[in-house]
Amino acid sequence: MSERIVTMLSAEQIAARVRELGAEIAKEYKDRNLVLVVVLKGSFIFASDLCRAIEGNVRIDFLGVRSYGEGTETSGVVQITQDLSRPIAGEDVIIVEDIVDTGLTIAHLMDLFRTRGPRSVKVCSLLHKPARARVGVNVDFLGFTIEDKFVVGYGLDFAERYRNLPFIGIVERT
Ligand code: 5GP
């Protein structure tokens, strides 16, 4: 059995939307101390494009999270594998996610971050699959709403493969 990837969002569509998100964020956070928290590994490509689309002062930090094994189903358990390098007390934080699926990861991170005394915490996600929501999560800055399909590319993996694809697609078994 082999696999092929069917394009869902092209590199051009993604780039155009990321530029819009960057402009939206820059406008809202003008003259504030913005910290982008990049949730590893899936959002590393999105975050690297997004941060360059935001004009103004931005600090970038990374958070390692494990919620999936090698499969495609969430375990509901969120483990921090790498914490932030600096405190976020008094800062305006945006958590940058690749995709909000069941919402469990982001709900857990919001709870965790609120205990650290930031001035504000918002969420920016490239993708959202509302059909799979298990907890209510507010995505403040959203790239695209997608249907309930397992997607790869632009940082998103399937068993650690396909992160390097410049577009987002669906894995099809042929
Ligand atoms: P949640 O906790 O919202 O269910 O899941 C969030 C995480 O699950 C995402 O950050 C991502 O790593 C992974 N995930 C959810 N849906 C997909 C998908 O369609 N494709 C890939 N590659 N990862 C997904």
Q: Is the dihedral of CA 68, 21, 138, 33 positive or negative?
A: positive
Nearest-atom index, ligand 1, CA of 41: 12
Nearest-atom index, ligand 1, CA of 78: 2
What pLDDT does residue 73 have? 59
What pLDDT does residue 3 have? 86
**Domain ranges, ordered by start, for the chain:** 11-150
User: Atom 15, ligand 1: which residue's CA is nearest?
Assistant: 101
What pLDDT does residue 46 have? 98
| pLDDT grade for 136, boundaries at 50, 70 and 90 | confident
Q: What tens digit of pLDDT does each residue of 78-103 get?
A: 889 999 999 999 999 999 999 999 89
pTM for the model: 0.94
DSSP, res 156: B
Segment 63-77 mean pLDDT = 68
Q: What is the mean pLDDT of the chain?
A: 92
Architecture of domain 11-150: 3-Layer(aba) Sandwich (3.40)
Q: Which residues line ligand 1 (CB under 6 A)?
A: 42, 67-68, 74, 97-105, 150-152, 156-158
Rounded Cα–Cα distance for residues 126 and 99 (Å):
6
Residue 11, pLDDT > 70, answer yes
Burial 46-76 (b: 16+ CB within 10 A, else e): bbebbbebbeeebeeebbebebeeeeeebee
Q: Specify the 3-state DSSP secondary structure of 162.
A: coil
Ligand 1: residue of 101, 111, 154, 165 to mutate (most ligand atoms within 8 A of CB) is: 101
Determine the distance separating the centroid of ligand 1 and the alpha carbon of 30, expressed in angstroms. 31
Residue 69, pLDDT > 70, answer no
Determine the distance separating the centroid of ligand 1 and the alpha carbon of 102, expressed in angstroms. 8
